[in-house]
Amino acid sequence: MAMENFDHPPKILFLYGSLRERSYSRLLAEEAARIITEMGVSLVFTRDAW
């Protein structure tokens, strides 16, 4: 099914689990979120502290 068949942008949830201030998983998730947001994706970004 092609993207043009939908009437809304894709929805993506990003989770990362680090509590550290300078977390590589958080930095990677934020960069990926920045890139796909520019593509028109609807995004939710959260830190899931287990």
Q: Match 């300078």 to its residue by tokens.
A: 22
User: CA 38, 43, 45, 50 torsion: positive or negative?
Assistant: negative
Type of residue at 38: E
Instruction: Evaluate if residue 19 carries a pLDDT over 80.
Output: no
- To the nearest 10°, the Cα dihedral for 28, 31, 13, 5? -130
Mean pLDDT, range 15-25, rounded to an integer: 78
What average pLDDT does this structure show over 9-37?
82
Q: Please report the pLDDT score of residue 2 as a whole number.
A: 56
pTM of the model: 0.62
* 3-state DSSP assignment of residue 31: helix
